[in-house]
Amino acid sequence: MTVIVHDEGFASETWEHGFASVDERAANDTRGLDLPSDTDPGELGKLMLGVDAIRIDFPSFADGRGFSLARQLRNLGFQGLLRAAGHVISDQYAMARRSGFDEVEISDELAARQPEEEWVYRADWKAYDYRSRLMGAAQA
């Protein structure tokens, strides 16, 4: 099972349309796309067409390529659901939200090790944006 993390805390799965890999997508009637972290960024523009949700895999908490993919998708105009899935830890939640993810999907085991309170603590991700703080200090 998995747990979906939102700014309000833990939630159950609400996406009902499934996810398919790039290779499986043509054969399945899904509106969700699974992307591995090593997806070629140059392919994102065509991969996002006709997709309502994209789930990007994080094979390790030390693999930050998914954050870059999320930012690029948002910069390309993707407005659908964007989900980080896999080995994202609570310390990375603010970065996930700032890079464009709407939610994070974690395992039940990770949810037990990093309870909801740790994720909610980081949910005020806009307040900890160092760029905004620096810009405010520069204007003072």
Report pTM. Answer: 0.86
135 pLDDT above the threshold of 70? no
Q: Where are the beta strands (DSSP E) in 2-135?
A: 2-6, 9-11, 32-35, 53-58, 81-86, 103-107
Q: pLDDT tens for residues 100-120?
A: 999 999 999 999 999 999 999
Domain range for residue 88? 2-139
Domain count, the chain: 1
Confidence of residue 128 (pLDDT cuts 50, 70, 90): low
Give 14-37 pLDDT, tens digit per residue. Answer: 999 989 998 887 656 668 999 999
Task: Supply the CATH number for residue 103's domain.
Answer: 3.40.50
- Residue that is written with structure tokens 């998708």 in the block: 73
Confidence of residue 62 (pLDDT cuts 50, 70, 90): confident
